[in-house]
Amino acid sequence: MQNLILDFLRVTESAAIASMPWIGSGNKIAADGAATDAMREALNNMKMEATVVIGEGEIDEAPMLYIGERVGAGGSHKVDIAVDPIEGTTPTVNGQSNAIAVIAAAPKGTLLYAPDMYMKKLAVGPRAKGKIDLNEPIEENIAAVAKANKKAISELNVLIQDRSRHHDIIDRIRNTGAKVHLFHDGDVIYSTSTCIETLDIDLFLGIGGAPEGVLGAVAVRCLGGEMQAKLMPQNDNEFIRCKEMGINNPNAILHHNQLVSTDDCLFVATGITNNLLVDGIKTDDNNYITHSALINGNEKKIRYVKCTSPLSQTVKTLE
């Protein structure tokens, strides 16, 4: 997998550059389409045989990179990939922070193959690995993480998305004395942040998309942390779809090894707009300037790459 990491960097850079003309445009469909087209083209130029196990929808929702789509130009590498050409489409088209182009990859058969639906997620950094349990009340997890991180509960920083579905859990966390930090979009960014010590984030919790859950799970595993999750089918059709994709008990807790079962995994993200992980894309007189994070699960470290690309690089522009 390490041999592919720079190729995947070119994939996320291409998607970020393609999305740049749509920053602040208000046009989510056009922004997503431009980034997806660029990502698919770059993936199809790679020497690999890859399957999209987590994408932007089911097979009937093309032209997005859909679950089950095959990409790559062929080769000896058999790869599963999870993609989001724009993680944070709303902030992108509103000219706000917290948008990245992101991809996670691992050998074939090692990433969760699951439908696009809601997922409950709990993530912590390396010091609290092995101390969390999504089956237990949040109060017990708060206490366990505080002990593992050698903090008083009042010093604990918890990230959770600002959504009405989280109001009760937010109140319960605050009642423990822990500090709650709310965010609006970009839960891949925030789950990953639990593993970056300088950011001082102790725990991430919330209900969001399963695609973002698997992407975040790869990043967290790459950095030595832990994530647990639970799919949340909203109707009979979603429940049946889980079973069709091999998830016999959709109500069961998914431990980290079920989300991604190997350390031989990669996570690559390029900034579209500024966020906790990387800077947003910029330009000077001649170049796009991108900032990316590369994380290799075998090394348990994060590398940052700043790259310049000619403004003449072809992107879909506003019409």
> Is 36 one of the annotated binding-site residues?
no
Is 253 found in the same domain as 274? Answer: no
Range of the domain at 278: 2-109+265-310
> Is 51 one of the annotated binding-site residues?
no
> With contact defined as beta carbons under 8 Å apart, do 176 and 142 qualify?
yes
> Is 139 one of the annotated binding-site residues?
no
Please indicate, yes or no, if residue 228 is contained in any of the structural domains.
yes
Strand 282-283 to 287-296 pairing: antiparallel
107: cis peptide before it, omega within 30°? no
> Is 263 one of the annotated binding-site residues?
no
Is 298 found in the same domain as 179? Answer: no
Q: What is the CATH number of the domain that holds 50?
A: 3.30.540.10
Structure tokens at 198: 């300088």
User: The whole model's pTM is what?
Assistant: 0.93
> Is 165 one of the annotated binding-site residues?
yes
Is 171 found in the same domain as 194? Answer: yes
pLDDT at position 59 is: 45
> Is 84 one of the annotated binding-site residues?
yes
> Is 89 one of the annotated binding-site residues?
yes
pLDDT tens column, 114-137: 778 899 999 999 999 999 999 999
> Is 113 one of the annotated binding-site residues?
no
pLDDT at position 54 is: 86
Is 237 found in the same domain as 189? Answer: yes
Question: Does pLDDT of 58 surpass 70?
Answer: no
pLDDT tens column, 180-197: 999 998 899 999 999 999
> Is 185 one of the annotated binding-site residues?
yes
Q: Provide the number of structural domains found in the chain.
A: 2
Of the pLDDT bands very low, low, confident and very high (cuts 50, 70, 90), residue 314 is low
How big is the CA angle at 225 (ends 14 and 119), to the nearest 5 degrees? 70
Is 183 found in the same domain as 65? Answer: no
Q: Using CA atoms, how far apart are residues 149 and 10, in angstroms rounded to an integer?
A: 36
Q: What is the CATH number of the domain that holds 213?
A: 3.40.190.90
Give me the chain's average pLDDT, please: 92
Least confident of 41-45, 50-54, 151-155: 50-54
Please indicate, yes or no, if residue 69 is contained in any of the structural domains.
yes
pLDDT at position 57 is: 62
Is 241 found in the same domain as 274? Answer: no
> Is 163 one of the annotated binding-site residues?
yes
> Is 164 one of the annotated binding-site residues?
yes
> Is 88 one of the annotated binding-site residues?
yes
Question: Does pLDDT of 316 surpass 60?
Answer: no
Please indicate, yes or no, if residue 317 is contained in any of the structural domains.
no
> Is 279 one of the annotated binding-site residues?
no
Is 232 found in the same domain as 302? Answer: no
